[in-house]
Structure 1
Amino acid sequence: MTERAGETFRTVVELHTDERVDSLTPLLRLAFPGPFEAEVVEQMKQDDCRQMSAVLLRDSVEGDPQIIGQAYYCALEVEQSFNDEGYSLGPMAIHPEWQGRGLGLQLLKESLNILADDYQAGWVAVLGEPAFYSKAGFAPASEFGLKCHYPVSPKYFMALELRPNALNGVSGYVRYHSAFGDPEEIPVEPE
């Protein structure tokens, strides 16, 4: 929980439910220029894999808390793994009216701590902007022996151990949920 300019913000992580997805889809449609992220989350709710939703709430004295940010976590498949403690992060969004205030980083850090403490997550992988995610401790996934099954530059595929040595014995290609698309159909990004 954080207080900023007299307002209180707190992060809550819970198991992914249809009700939560339905409440967050409008935020994804506001925060992203196209429908892809909202459609991914809609497709993911059809699956029974381990999924968590993190929400950043703005507490209000006038009424119910306002959802101003969200992050989705979903179990990952890894080519060589002796545990099932890995999660993908994404999509993650902050309502456009609240962007640029450090709330995305707050949501990220607080949700990672809750995942580790309350859900025994060992590590998280993300496809994203290194300048942002490195602030929360993410490093190139290649440093851990992980490769992305999507054709993206390795600098955008990052991982974070939530517990020491959580990635020992884990290596190879990491597979995201099928809702993100078939890797064969995604164009290769230039370096």
Structure 2
Amino acid sequence: MADLLQIIRNIVEMMGEFTTVVSVVCFLIGVVMLITALKLAQKRQEQGPGQGGWNSPIATFIIAGLFFSLPTLVDVLNVSLFGVESQSASSIFTYAKTTVGAIKGAEGKEMIEGLVLIVQFFGLIGVGRGLYLLNQSAQGGQGPKTFGPGLTFVIAGIVATNYPLVAGIIQSLISTQP
């Protein structure tokens, strides 16, 4: 039976392929949304004035563009929210010195780095899910039932992709040491 460290090592080794798959899926979702936006725009144009708004085609077109450039979107939102680009998993030891940084063993540090990398990967998926929910909200499907969760997924995904910095912020807030 494999131990936890070996499981994390195996997942970290495959993380490059996982990220590639997520990027390709997001690109394909962007293509499908772009085609859908063009169909919605054509349908809206054929209906004539007064038969509906342009909100749905325009929102779908914009969100399709965001799906095309999901990694760039994540970097831009990280800079907007935190003032820095996405941090590497190993930087958690720099930001959270008194909590995570106190781990001395190499295996412990490797495990923490692997877990942080997994959290960052799930953050990327969370941003994609949030964009999808925001698109559903723009379509008028569930209304506020999808806008709030969509925005929450985008913000939580950005927080997760920059987890080392967030861990440092949390440590600074709850720590009694200067």
Q: TM-score, normalised by structure 2?
A: 0.24
Bigger RCO (CA 8 Å, 6+ sep): 2
By percentage of residues, which structure has more helix? Answer: 2
Return the index of the structure with the highest Cα Rg. Answer: 2
